[in-house]
Amino acid sequence: MGWPTGRRPGDDPEAPEAGTGHHPLLGQPHDELREGPIGQAESLAAGTRTAREPLGAPGTPFNWRSPFLIGVSAAAGVALTYSAVQLLLAASKALLLVTLSLFLAIGLEPAVSWMVTRGIPRWAGVTTVLGTVLAFIAAFVAGRAGGHRRP
């Protein structure tokens, strides 16, 4: 979206004159009684404007060692750390599944590679190894469940 007049504020030939503080295209009320101290502050601010410094003279630079800026930096660091921890907690289940599948893939790769070197197609080796692992897990779970029954 562009500016309503098609021009940017810096390109506007109808810029406010120094001392007035009002732009002719803005629909503000220009009544001293209604504006009061705000109108006076706008006029004073417009008086500090020059062609070289359209926003007025620069103020004093920040003191980067001030307690306020140190506190703001510390608060931002705490907020960033808290957000990172919350993000990890929210994604912990997905990260656990990805990590588990990575360990299974890396751990079962030697068995699949051994079968491939023996002439078995890779898909058949993966299916055989995965079926064997699932059978061992099922036997383990069935043995544990069956071992705890009381007559």
pTM: 0.41
**Amino acid in position 104:** L
pLDDT value for 59: 84
pLDDT in tens, the chain (151 residues): 444 545 444 554 555 555 555 555 555 555 666 667 777 787 777 778 888 888 878 888 888 899 999 999 999 999 999 999 999 999 999 999 999 999 999 999 999 999 999 999 999 999 999 999 999 999 999 887 766 555 5
**Amino acid in position 125:** G
Token couple for 100? 């588990």
Own/partner contacts of 112-120, CB < 8 Å, gap of 24 or more, are none
Do residues 20 and 30 make contact, with C-beta atoms less than 8 angstroms apart? Answer: no
> In angstroms, rounded to a whole number, what is the distance separating the alpha carbons of residues 87 and 82?
9
> In angstroms, rounded to a whole number, what is the distance separating the alpha carbons of residues 68 and 124?
66
pLDDT value for 79: 98
pLDDT value for 1: 45
Do residues 21 and 45 make contact, with C-beta atoms less than 8 angstroms apart? Answer: yes
All residues at 6 or more sequence positions from 25 whose CB lies less than 8 Å from its CB, including other chains: 4, 5, 12, 14
